[in-house]
Amino acid sequence: MKKLLFVIVMLLPLGCSKEASWDGKPESQWREGLLNSDDVDARRAAAKALGEMGSKAKASVPELVTALKDNDRKVRREAARALWAMTDGAKDALWELINALHDPDPDVRLNAAGALGDIGPDGRFAVAELGRALKDEKPGVRGEAATSLGKHGSDSADAVPALIEALQDKDMAVRIAAASALGAVGSSAQSAIPALTEALKSNDGDFRGAVKLAIREIQGQD
């Protein structure tokens, strides 16, 4: 019995250190393809595969950061999406993701905005740029930026003026995300109460519901 326990204990580290894989290929092989392949389709597939592995592939963050500057926009899209899937495992890519908010491709910008919301506490350093992203030409990017600001709660206090302005966005989904983000900021968003009160006049029920909840959260009501 003691011998059996000894064997199990010795094997546990081997199991814990097993390399992540996707579609029958280990992470290291996908990583190599992303970094060194001249085939754009291969680089796209590698970035997508690493994203499917999520935080298990966080060792590939440096290669994904490099891929954020790839000449092919689809490679950049998949790289940003993969970093988003890694949540706080992508924290070492913080500044590169902030820079990606200015990528010419809107899907890259959207994925970067989403990643900055899930990247963990260090995401507070992205608040200023996420606030500026509320003026992006694409509503999907604006909405994701608002959602990410909400995820950082009171750390997003400096973005309150931009979120107040977003309550009048031409896209209703962005308005709702802005209202929810203001509620998440909490008491530091007191200056938004007048604008939120005015927003209660909206004909959109979902928006009014988000606004009512935001007011309660800001005022500390259950």
Which tokens in the block code for residue 119? 């990247």
* Averaged pLDDT for residues 41-63: 94
Q: Indicate if 148 and 221 belong to the same structural domain.
A: yes
Least confident range of 22-31, 35-44, 121-130: 22-31
- Residue 94 in domain: yes
How far apart, in Å, are the Cα atoms of 194 and each of 55, 59, 108, 189, 207?
Answer: 41, 47, 35, 11, 16
Q: What is the pLDDT of residue 19?
A: 82
Number of Cβ within 10 Å of residue 194's Cβ equals 10
Q: What is the pLDDT of residue 24?
A: 82
Question: Which of 167, 173, 172 has its CA nearest to residue 195?
Answer: 167
Q: Indicate if 220 and 137 belong to the same structural domain.
A: yes
CB–CB of 33/42 below 8 Å? Answer: yes
Which domain covers residue 53, as residue numbers? 25-119
What would the pLDDT profile of 143-196 be if each residue is shown by its tens digit? 999 999 999 999 999 999 999 999 999 999 999 999 999 999 999 999 999 999
Q: Indicate if 57 and 89 belong to the same structural domain.
A: yes
Q: Which of 119, 140, 164 is the last residue of a domain?
A: 119
Q: Indicate if 103 and 132 belong to the same structural domain.
A: no
Q: What is the pLDDT of residue 222?
A: 61
Rounded to whole angstroms, the Cα distance separating 137 from 205 reads 25
Question: Which of 180, 134, 176, 126 has its CA nearest to residue 156?
Answer: 126
What would the pLDDT profile of 91-122 be if each residue is shown by its tens digit? 999 999 999 999 999 999 999 999 999 999 99
Please give the tally of structural domains in the chain: 2
- Residue 206 in domain: yes
pLDDT of 215 above 60:
yes
Residue 92 CA to its chain's centroid (Å): 14
pLDDT of 16 above 60:
no
Rounded to whole angstroms, the Cα distance separating 202 from 37 reads 53
The pLDDT confidence band at residue 17, using thresholds 50, 70 and 90, is low
